[in-house]
Amino acid sequence: MFITDDLQQRWWALEAKLLERFGKKPDLEAILFLIGLQETNFSSEKISKEQKQDLMHVAVCTVLTQSGYYLLEGLDEEGWPHFHQLKQLPEMNTPEQENFIKDHVLLYFDQQGF
């Protein structure tokens, strides 16, 4: 229970920092979207649903690279990163998956000095 409690406290602290910075409390999807934007330097007036999904996919691969699940292979001609999956993700139920991603997102922000 302590691990979950600690994770929740750290997550609330990140949400508070992002709320202060952007003026809106982000959910996990919004945070993954922000990471995707950061990692791709993507900028556009209009972002399609498909582009948003692609940015979130980049974010998930990026944060899971830290634990050896993915490896950045390189960038394509448009500057989008491509990843290679190195190992299978563990089987988890939905709350466990969310906590797994949140923990990796927190590590990402720590490594970014945020």
* Average pLDDT of the segment spanning 97-106: 96
pLDDT of 1 > 80? The answer is no
Q: What is the mean pLDDT of residues 7-36?
A: 94
Helix (H) or strand (E) holding 53: helix 49-65
Checking 18-21 for CB contacts under 8 A at 24+ apart, the result is none
Q: How deeply is 47 buried, as exposed, middle or buried, from its count of CB atoms within 10 A (0-12, 13-18, 19+)?
A: middle
Q: For 17-26, how does the pLDDT look when each residue is reduced to its tens digit (9 = 90+)?
A: 999 999 999 9
Strand partners, 72: 83
Beta-carbon contacts of 87 under 8 Å, excluding residues fewer than 6 positions away, are: 68, 69
Going by C-alpha positions, the residue among 36, 6, 5, 30 that lies closest to residue 18 is 30
Q: Give per-residue pLDDT as tens, 42-97.
A: 877 888 999 999 999 999 999 999 999 999 999 999 889 999 999 999 999 999 99
pLDDT at 3 over 70: no
- pLDDT computed for residue 78 by the predictor: 86
